[in-house]
Amino acid sequence: MENIYLVVGLGNPGREYARTRHNAGFLVVERLAERWQSSWTYEKKFNANVAQAQRNSRKVLLCEPQTYMNSSGETVGALMNFYRVPLARLLVAVDDADLPLGEIRLRPGGSSGGHHGLESVEQHLGTGKYARLRIGIGRASGAREITGYVLGRFSSTEAALADKVLTAASDQAESWLEAGIQKAMSQFNGAVDGSENERIEQ
């Protein structure tokens, strides 16, 4: 079996959603593609933008489903089946309004937490036992209805922290790939500190 890994960023396609909080997953895989000098191509059979990279002995597929968030599982399921990717080699990067901006959290599995993208992935894979990297985006203070907030862009005061968070999330994805999930969790989970290469454990 080919030593293949799949890193999926969840988000919505289209210019109106570009760089919104809800597209934090897209922003992580785009940053990885940039680091690895991988180019994106649209794969019609998966309805996804896909980039490929070789990382040591591993072949890595980066993916941005173009299905819209609520149907992300269609793309993830199709890619997993076509390339026969084991569940242990799948990582899904996703925004999380229940985590404050500045915090990231990698877990080996769990519930969707009400996130429709994760719900769709779980539905199509038939399990929640896959790694997910949650990128905290916070929520408007006191607001229960958060649609407008998550579909908005990071404010000018949030931009610098958001950039650090995306860098840390990309570092954590690389650590997951190269050192395994336990090392990546212990090294990066928690708040992203302002000082370089330091993490505040929660």
Active site residues: 22
62 touches 110 (CB < 8 A): no
Q: Please write down the long-range contacts of 36-45, taking CB distance under 8 Å and 24 or more positions apart.
A: 36/60, 38/62, 40/64, 42/66, 45/78, 45/82
The span from the CA of 8 to the CA of 26, in Å, is: 8
The span from the CA of 8 to the CA of 12, in Å, is: 13
Q: Helix, strand, coil: what percent of the chain each, to 5?
A: 40, 25, 35
The span from the CA of 168 to the CA of 179, in Å, is: 15
The span from the CA of 106 to the CA of 186, in Å, is: 9
The span from the CA of 114 to the CA of 104, in Å, is: 17
